[in-house]
Amino acid sequence: MTDRHPNAGPYTDRHGRTRWRFRRCGKTIQLPGEPGEPAFEAAYLAAIEGRPAPEKPKASVIRHPNAAAPRSLRAAWKQVPTSLPEWRRLGPASQLRQSRIAEAFLASKVQKDSDLIWGDVPVADLRRRHLKAIIAEMSDRPHAARHLIVVIRRMILVALDEEWIDTDPSYQLKHRPEYIGRKAWPEAIRQKFEKRWPIGTTPRLAYALGLWLGNRRGDIATLAPAAIEGDKIRIVQRKTRRELVLDITPMLREVLDATDLSGPTILKTQFGEPFSINSLTGRMADWTKAAGIPKGYTLHGLRKTLGKMLAEGGATTRQIMDTLGHTAIAHAELYSREADQAHLARQGMDAVVKLVASRKK
């Protein structure tokens, strides 16, 4: 007990620590801290006056950005990299793109007037109607909706494997937009581009690499001179990590022979530096415009052009896959079906012409 604090005195608790308490009329009140400290003084004054001690201020709760509720969509997504073999087969660029899509979705609100975000929703509460509503809200961006559903399905697969759910709410969910895709370059358009950009120019080199290698813009932009091995060229696809060894066609050889191959990449800017992947798309749009070609004929369209040429030339689906680097047979079959249709239609019309001619005799 002190002169300043009647009825208050120290004692030693069972852990050997010195603590303070207030005792009067058979009642004992624990006092926080020591005399002179704000918390002690406030509690002592409350005890003297016979009122409850002031409550301690509650610590603010800060949500960790990577925190995940058990069995939630975010918890499922956190397990995707280690649980799904399909994820490990993706290239770094695809993994990064899908991660960005997933994080944006998980951080978005379930409803505009609600604080609940999708990341906190238990996977078991995800219903088919929710997925259909998401697709409907993105009707003006059908391809973005398709990519999002692909990402959500990865979370669902984890939940199924972990036995958090028994059924897949996305099973046979129709979400694919009507496929139009990039335009293949018809011969007239190709001739127009080649006339405007002769061999020896950068636009012609980008065009030739896109057409005669049939690979994606990222693979073309980063292709190094060391990839050329005699009459072949070796490509490791950024998206799939698949290694392709392709013959250098005479059409591509003619362009490469007129190219300075001393730089870090085969395709270089006017400053001798590699093109960024995104800038290459924009530059191709500028080059086609300068050639008087309508919008819609892109670098990726050249990949589709080679696919059509392969199919029309009689290449098998497997040959198309191994040339373009497709990992799914369905993509390669698109070219085969289109070529088969044209071939069968031509045979059919030839039969009609012969029939009409025979009747005139």
**Mean pLDDT for the stretch of residues 62-73:** 76
pLDDT at 196: 96
pLDDT at 75: 94
pLDDT at 256: 95
Tell me the two tokens of residue 234. Answer: 């070796």
Distance between start and end Cα atoms, the chain? 132
pLDDT at 284: 92
**Per-residue pLDDT tens over the stretch 96-112:** 989 999 999 999 999 88
With CA atoms as reference, report the closest residue to 2 among 334, 265, 10.
10
Q: What whole-number percentage of the chain has pLDDT above 70?
A: 90
Position with higher pLDDT, 123 vs 180 = 123
pLDDT at 39: 86
**Per-residue pLDDT tens over the stretch 158-184:** 999 999 999 999 888 875 544 445 688
pLDDT at 76: 95
CA distance 39 to 245: 76
pLDDT surpasses 90 at 292: yes
Residues in the chain: 361
CA distance 273 to 275: 7
pLDDT surpasses 70 at 339: no
Looking at the DSSP bridge assignments, the partners of residue 27 are 24
The vertex-94 CA angle with 224 and 217, nearest 5°, equals: 40
Confirm or reject CATH 1.10.760.10 for domain 187-343, answering yes or no. Answer: no
CA distance 281 to 299: 7
CA distance 171 to 107: 24
pLDDT at 197: 96
Position with higher pLDDT, 91 vs 121 = 121
Coil, strand or helix at 140: coil
**145-164: burial string, b at 16+ Cβ within 10 Å, e else:** beebbebbbbbbbbbeeeeb
Q: Domain ranges in the chain?
A: 8-49, 73-161, 187-343
Label residue 81 by pLDDT band (50, 70, 90): very high
Region of poorest pLDDT, from 28-37, 82-91, 349-358? 349-358
With CA atoms as reference, report the closest residue to 336 among 319, 353, 354.
319
pLDDT at 179: 45
Please enumerate in sequence order all residues whose Cβ is within 8 A of that of 220, keeping only pairs 6 or more positions apart, or say none. 206, 209, 210, 213, 267, 280, 299
**Mean pLDDT for the stretch of residues 71-76:** 94
Label residue 5 by pLDDT band (50, 70, 90): confident
Label residue 58 by pLDDT band (50, 70, 90): low
**Mean pLDDT for the stretch of residues 199-223:** 92
Coil, strand or helix at 233: strand
Coil, strand or helix at 39: helix
**Mean pLDDT for the stretch of residues 212-225:** 90
pLDDT surpasses 80 at 135: yes
Label residue 117 by pLDDT band (50, 70, 90): very high
**Mean pLDDT for the stretch of residues 284-303:** 92
Looking at the DSSP bridge assignments, the partners of residue 30 are 21
Residue 234 dihedral angles phi and psi, to the nearest 5° = -110, 125
Q: What are the C-alpha distances in Å from 170 to residues 54, 122, 150, 162, 277?
A: 54, 15, 10, 17, 33
CA distance 9 to 29: 11
Quick check: pTM over 0.75?
Answer: no
pLDDT at 356: 73
Please enumerate in sequence order all residues whose Cβ is within 8 A of that of 134, keeping only pairs 6 or more positions apart, or say none. 145, 148, 149, 152
Looking at the DSSP bridge assignments, the partners of residue 21 are 9, 30
Please enumerate in sequence order all residues whose Cβ is within 8 A of that of 5, keeping only pairs 6 or more positions apart, or say none. 35, 44
pLDDT surpasses 80 at 261: yes
Start-end of H helices in 50-127: 73-83, 85-88, 92-106
Q: Using an 8 Å Cβ cutoff, are 315 and 340 in contact?
A: no
pLDDT at 60: 60
